[in-house]
Chains A and B, each alone.
Chain A
Amino acid sequence: MSMRAPASDLPLMFENVSLQAGATIILNSLSLTIAPGAPTLIVGPNGSGKTSLLRLCMGLATPTSGRISWGGRSDPAPTRRAFVFQRPVMLRRTAAANVSYALAQAGAPRSGRARRAADLLTRVGLADLASRPARLLSGGEQQRLALARALARDPEILLLDEPTANLDPAATRAVEEIVLSAAQSGIKIVMASHDLGQVRRLAGEVVFLARGALCERAATADFLDHPATSEARAFLRGDLVI
């Protein structure tokens, strides 16, 4: 084996990417470059295409037209990316076994798996629940376990689809703290949210979607305080953007 580092998935580039389901246009000719750095938050009303954008980033969906590339390559296996779903699916095993499974799939050697799984559970504050069946954990605990599973992949890019949408404030804070510490450790965060408080707390930059199109992209403070487009102004006012 050579000693060179695995090829980077960044920058992640969208060139005129469209996604259609039947006659419905979900994303419309989107061009976007996601570079290393502070978290990118995908913001927009429900149905604006946030989830689809993230699935395309992960490679879980393929564009109807246009081109996506990861670090210049057009079809790399998702070994350097991880995804946290809005409603994560827990394997029917213990919390620790869920993390070990993710480690195994990421190619971690068998010998160090149990210790690394324990470390990851500690990192997300679930060390005490390691032997609990994962599906019996609370929503917030499941979301943190999903984060531990994602971090087990040692990702370069961590994609999160509204991970706190169904959580209470305490659980939301726990998730945000894990996400922030991941960002500080150098993982590129790309996260969908329609919680403006969360956007302010987390984001380095905002990508604002409306009706499947990229409307606006700006540093967080600029976006929140001086939105440039009428759609963004309406969204920030709390109007329904249809």
Chain B
Amino acid sequence: MRRRQREEWPRYLAARAAEAKDARLADFFAGGGLDPEMPIGEAPLVAMDFETTGLDAGRHDIVSVGVVPFTLARIRPAEGRYWVLSPRRRLSDESVTFHHITHAEVENAPDFSTIIDELLASLHGRLVVVHYRQLERTFLDAAIRERLGEGLLFPMLDTMSLEARIHRQSWWARLRRWAGRPVASIRLHESRQRYNLPAYTGHHALIDSLATAELLQAQILHHYSWETPVGALWR
């Protein structure tokens, strides 16, 4: 399974580069793939986080996007980008309290289509790091598909699934579960606590990107190494 993923992503990206009708996507696919054997310590990375109006990419929309470029040696918040977007459907009051993004803010915000160029440029040539890939992957794919007529999928490094492997799938975690002990939380904040990382204000796309980048640095040092090939980590 792991071996297959390592080789399948480059093959998929190469195929999409050839097939893509939109020039920007073709360009992204052509230059976006890292060699699966590249050590994670050398890889250019970018942490990405979305805030959305809900969990269903078919019914809900992205309201903000944060990206922070980094490597295992340095996170560079100053080079981070943040966009507030206008959802196609009305923002519900619950999600306002959740994200701290107000109706007024999204009223004048642009549509996702206006940031596609800049977002792709931020991700280009870097391995994207997210916490819980299902959300970012499906929402990005849906948003792009809706506007360009074709989807966008690429390998992602998911800090939540790394955390799950360590705390939920190890023999020790299984033993704990069998003994009826509570399962370790793998949410962003709780995961960070395990590595002595500070508490940040959650639910802001840019802060969560930064928090994800720091978490990955910690996970690699504790459970992998700078030599670990990216192909063994991405999904």
Q: Do A and B bind each other?
A: no
